[in-house]
């Protein structure tokens, strides 16, 4: 039976954490993962499509409306997951300068948790990402009785987060889906090095989808795995079914080339599945580098396509499909319980087999 420090800290059965996948809803997914013995994660929404990503640079009145909408949707998601999940879960905040809504959201979250004993039992951790872990208001997370984790892509960021007093780190490499680091360190390199250089528990991700990945992370000294793309391709994930199928089909569609591509995104480099939209965004990224267009042009294009694929429209050619390189290894739609159980069974079998063969 594989039980690690992270299982005790987060009060979960298995060392498997569902990755944050904002700005999209992951309520159903978080509840299903938490019920299947893993750790579910409520994602940080973006302003609703009518405001778009560009709400962060809109006039004050629009910004306030957009942020109140984000707060209501996020707190609604927290209450819903609290009701549905059998196990524990967390909440992600992207603490980037482009995300000035975080202090308000954090206060709302703490208030929500304080008035609900069920949430006090289940809502264990806030995962901060995409920004500075030393921002003073983030201390409120631990003062309110929750654990504070930070996602980091490098040893430098890991040490900075550790110094700021985090309880644990999620370390993800460049093969991950969604936003990735400017410095392309891969999971195979960055996870073991961070483990060696910090004293807080580390969970590794980016490219993990099965029991082999869990064993690899344990060998690197990590306490568990963090998975986004694998959990998209589950029956419970609320992303459009066409997106799930596009991930399964991606390796057939581009058999001779990479299935994913990194473009400029609002928060930096962003890994997508290849399609018409991401190839155009890639072109715009190159034009931005050559100073032929501005960052706002890129954001406008990105904003338009963000919800087109994952939302009800399901337009998988003209919309963004953020997904990791591990798409290459995902061939089947499963339930969250099937994913988690198969990972645990495979990892345990590998560990036994390795011990037999090599000791």
Nearer to ligand FMN, 4 or 259 (CB): 259
Residue 144 or 266 having the CB closest to ligand FMN: 266
Residue number with CB closer to ligand FMN (22 or 305): 22
Exposed e or buried b per residue across 32-45, where buried means at least 16 C-beta atoms within 10 angstroms of its C-beta: bbbbbbbbbbbbbb
Helix (H) or strand (E) holding 235: none
**Shortest gap between Cβ of 356 and ligand FMN (angstroms)?**
30
Nearest Cα to Cα of residue 239 among 314, 173, 317 = 314
Tokens of 192: 């073991």
**Minimum distance, C-beta of residue 274 to ligand FMN, in the bound complex (Å):** 14
Q: Tell me the CA end-to-end span of the chain in Å, nearest whole number.
A: 19
HSE value, Cβ hemisphere, 13 Å, CA-based, for 351: 16
Distances in Å between the Cα of 104 and the Cα atoms of 72, 113, 132, 134, 205 are: 11, 14, 17, 17, 29
Three-state SS at 217: helix
Q: Which two structure tokens, joined as six digits, stand for 210?
A: 């099965």
Taking the least distance from each CB to ligand FMN, the nearer of 96 and 119 is: 96
Query: CB of 140: closest distance to ligand FMN in angstroms?
Result: 19
CB nearer to ligand FMN: pick between 116 and 338: 338
CA gyration radius, the chain: 19
Which residue's Cβ lies closest to ligand FMN? 228
Interface with ligand FMN by CB under 6 A: which residues?
19-22, 24, 43-44, 92, 94, 129-130, 151, 172, 175-179, 205-208, 227-230, 322-324, 326
Count of residues in the chain: 359
Q: How far is the CB of 352 from ligand FMN (least distance, A)?
A: 26
CB nearer ligand FMN, residue 43 or residue 263 = 43
Contact (CB, 8 A) for 133 and 150: yes
Considering the complex, state which of residue 24 and residue 185 has its C-beta at the smaller distance from ligand FMN. 24
The crossing angle, in degrees rounded to 10, of helices 60-84 and 102-114 is 30
Nearer Cβ to ligand FMN (19/298): 19
User: If you ran DSSP here, which 8-state letter would residue 46 be given?
Assistant: P
The CB-of-22 to ligand FMN minimum distance in angstroms stands at: 3
| Of residues 83, 94, 109, the one with CA closest to residue 45 | 94
As measured in angstroms, the least distance from the Cβ of 292 to ligand FMN is 28
Closest approach of ligand FMN to the CB of residue 323, in Å: 5
Contacts of 352 (CB under 8 A, 6+ apart): none
What tokens appear for 164 in the block?
């700021």
We find the least distance from the C-beta atom of residue 254 to ligand FMN, in angstroms, to be 17
Query: In 3D, which of 323, 239, 320 has the Cα closest to residue 278?
Result: 320
The Cα 326–Cα 176 span in angstroms is: 8
Nearer of residues 94 and 148 to ligand FMN, judged by Cβ: 94
Q: How near is the Cβ of 23 to ligand FMN at its closest, in Å?
A: 6
């Amino acid at each position: 039976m594989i039980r690690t420090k992270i299982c005790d800290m987060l009060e979960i059965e298995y060392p498997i954490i569902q990755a944050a996948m904002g700005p999209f809803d992951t309520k159903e997914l978080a509840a299903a993962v938490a019920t299947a013995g893993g750790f579910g994660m409520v994602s940080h929404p973006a302003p609703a499509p009518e405001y778009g990503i560009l709400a962060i640079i809109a006039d004050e009145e629009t910004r306030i409306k957009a942020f109140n909408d984000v707060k209501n949707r996020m707190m609604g998601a927290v209450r819903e997951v609290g009701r549905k999940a059998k196990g524990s879960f967390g909440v992600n905040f992207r603490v980037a300068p482009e995300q000035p809504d975080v202090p308000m959201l954090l206060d709302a979250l703490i208030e929500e948790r304080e008035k609900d004993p069920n949430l006090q039992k289940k809502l264990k951790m806030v995962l901060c990402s995409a920004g500075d872990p030393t921002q003073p208001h983030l201390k409120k997370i631990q003062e309110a009785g929750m654990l504070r984790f930070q996602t980091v892509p490098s040893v430098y960021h890991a040490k900075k987060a550790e110094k700021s007093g985090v309880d644990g780190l999620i370390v993800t490499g460049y093969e991950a889906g969604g936003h990735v680091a400017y410095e392309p360190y891969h999971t195979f390199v960055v996870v073991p090095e961070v483990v060696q250089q910090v004293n807080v528990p580390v969970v590794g991700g980016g490219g993990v989808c099965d029991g082999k990945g869990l064993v690899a992370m344990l060998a690197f000294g990590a306490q568990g795995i963090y998975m986004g793309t694998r959990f998209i391709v589950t029956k419970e994930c609320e992303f459009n079914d066409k997106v799930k199928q596009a991930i399964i089909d991606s390796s057939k569609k581009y058999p001779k080339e990479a299935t994913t591509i990194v473009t400029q995104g609002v928060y930096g480099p962003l890994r997508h599945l290849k399609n018409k939209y991401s190839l155009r965004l890639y072109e715009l990224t190159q034009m931005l580098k050559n100073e032929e267009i501005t960052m706002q042009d890129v954001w406008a294009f990105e904003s338009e396509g963000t919800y087109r694929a994952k939302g009800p429209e399901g337009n998988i050619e003209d919309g963004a499909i953020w997904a990791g390189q591990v798409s290459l290894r995902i061939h089947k739609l499963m339930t969250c319980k099937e994913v988690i159980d198969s990972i645990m069974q495979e990892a345990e079998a590998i560990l036994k087999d390795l011990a037999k063969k090599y000791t």
